[in-house]
Amino acid sequence: MRRYEVMVILDPEVEERSVAPTLDSFLGVVRSAGGAVERVDVWGRRKLAYEIDKKNEGIYAVLDLSCEPETVSELDRQLGLAETVLRTKVVRPEAH
Amino acid sequence: MAKPPLRKPKKKVCVFCKEKVDYVDYKDTALLRKFISDRGKIRARRVSGNCNQHQRDVATAVKNAREMALLPYTSTAR
């Protein structure tokens, strides 16, 4: 098990109250694979430094997980397929 | 021929070494903004005063932040 930090930028058209359930549906992958979701931090709407897909703002969220490497790559793959997700980034803050 | 007066440049101490930071977080844009110019370029080590290792860490953190649109790749504002 390794600790990961996943940052997700969601489409600003997603409604504020449906953000948490949307993220939670993705996190089902982690839970079913025996990983643990330690923290879900929704930053809310934030202006993007540059335009992504013709959008000037996005909803930022940071997820702290601990799971197997295959599980994160699967999570990242599924996030990438979702149309409400503008961008993702997975980092391991402990490894550097 | 007047020689320019010799001045010893003051040696800067790396702020991260002073604070004993071992991970530069790409999410901390307030901190990273100190290490980019107003044009969005990463400040050179002779300007920022960082040590070799921390300058690298700052550079990767800035690049990660750019990918997530937290910092600009370029900014036209002068």
- Tens of pLDDT, residue by residue over A8-57, are 999 998 888 888 899 999 999 899 988 899 999 999 899 999 999 999 99
CB pair distance less than 8 Å for A50 and B67: no
CB-CB neighbors (< 8 A) of A93 in chain B: 23, 25
Distance CA A69, CA A72 (A): 6
Two tokens at A33?
């694979």
Q: Is there a contact between B64 and B24 (Cβ–Cβ < 8 Å)?
A: no
Span B30-43, average pLDDT: 93
Could you give the ipTM of this predicted complex?
A: 0.84
pLDDT of residue B67: 94
Tens digit of each residue's pLDDT (9 = 90 or more) over A74-85: 999 999 999 999
Q: Are B24 and B16 in contact (CB under 8 A)?
A: yes
Contact A87 B67 (CB under 8 A): yes
Contacts of B53 in chain A (CB under 8 A): none
Task: Indicate the SS3 state at residue B32.
Answer: helix
